């Protein structure tokens, strides 16, 4: 028990599956330790966690495989005031995020199996991506486009520009934790 009034859901260990040694895809040594554990994860529910750790070269990777997927779900939220920057976003690696005001699409992640961020954190990721594009491309057109987008992001962060966040998750486990009434969650039949 802690003193917090809003109790965060906790990760609960369920069962230990197995542990074995494989050949590392990077250093080719038989030194890749693979461990499989089943957890009851907040929001993701029952999840198989596969962690890979190479004792030789230091390669590390964690994958999460939700064992109780839901139906495909679209979640939409419109940020209209500055406080909305702190609304939490939970996104699985299978989900696509659309930000129409910025013309941005964040494709399903290959690296992060699952991440929790807030609107501000999401905007920072986009700013970082824009910076990387600025370094790689030097055309005036892209420079103009990047400057324009950065101005819009600045306005959003000041609460002077709206931002719509739409998440499309084929396994339906992503979510936007905004107060009820402000988020639309729609299950989509079929695919």
Residues that bind Zn ion (CB under 5 A): 24, 26-27, 54, 56-57, 59
Minimum distance between the CB of residue 82 and Zn ion, rounded to whole angstroms?
46
User: What token pair was written down for 108?
Assistant: 């399903």
- Residue 53 CB partners (closer than 8 Å, separation 6+): 32, 33, 35, 59, 60
Question: Quick one: 53 or 117, whose CB is closer to Zn ion?
Answer: 53
Report CA 172 to chain centroid distance, whole Å: 13
- CA–CA gap between residue 50 and residue 18 (Å, rounded): 10
Residue 186, CA atoms < 13 Å, CB-side half-sphere: 10
Minimum distance between the CB of residue 113 and Zn ion, rounded to whole angstroms?
20
Question: Quick one: 43 or 59, whose CB is closer to Zn ion?
Answer: 59
Question: Quick one: 22 or 83, whose CB is closer to Zn ion?
Answer: 22
| CA nearest to 23, candidates 36, 32, 12 | 32
Minimum distance between the CB of residue 20 and Zn ion, rounded to whole angstroms?
15
Question: Quick one: 26 or 187, whose CB is closer to Zn ion?
Answer: 26
- CA–CA gap between residue 24 and residue 113 (Å, rounded): 20
- CA–CA gap between residue 115 and residue 108 (Å, rounded): 11
112 pairs with which residues across the strands? none
Question: Quick one: 60 or 82, whose CB is closer to Zn ion?
Answer: 60
Minimum distance between the CB of residue 18 and Zn ion, rounded to whole angstroms?
20
Minimum distance between the CB of residue 111 and Zn ion, rounded to whole angstroms?
18
- CA–CA gap between residue 45 and residue 90 (Å, rounded): 13
């Amino acid at each position: 028990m802690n003193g917090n009034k809003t109790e965060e859901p906790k990760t609960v260990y369920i069962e230990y599956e197995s542990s074995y040694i494989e050949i590392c895809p990077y250093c080719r040594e038989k030194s890749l330790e693979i461990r499989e554990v089943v957890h009851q994860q907040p929001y993701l529910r029952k999840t198989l966690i596969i962690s890979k750790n190479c004792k030789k070269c230091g390669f590390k990777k964690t994958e999460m495989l939700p064992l109780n997927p839901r139906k495909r779900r679209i979640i939409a939220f419109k940020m209209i005031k500055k406080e909305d920057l702190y609304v939490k976003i939970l996104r699985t690696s299978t989900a696509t995020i659309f930000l129409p005001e910025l013309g941005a699409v964040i494709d399903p992640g290959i690296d992060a199996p699952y991440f929790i961020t807030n609107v501000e954190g999401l905007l920072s990721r986009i700013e970082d991506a824009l910076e990387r594009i600025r370094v790689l491309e030097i055309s005036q057109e892209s420079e103009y486009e990047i400057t324009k987008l950065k101005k819009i992001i600045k306005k959003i962060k000041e609460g002077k520009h709206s931002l719509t966040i739409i998440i499309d998750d084929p396994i339906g486990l992503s979510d936007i934790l905004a107060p009820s009434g402000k988020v639309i969650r729609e299950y989509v039949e079929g695919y």
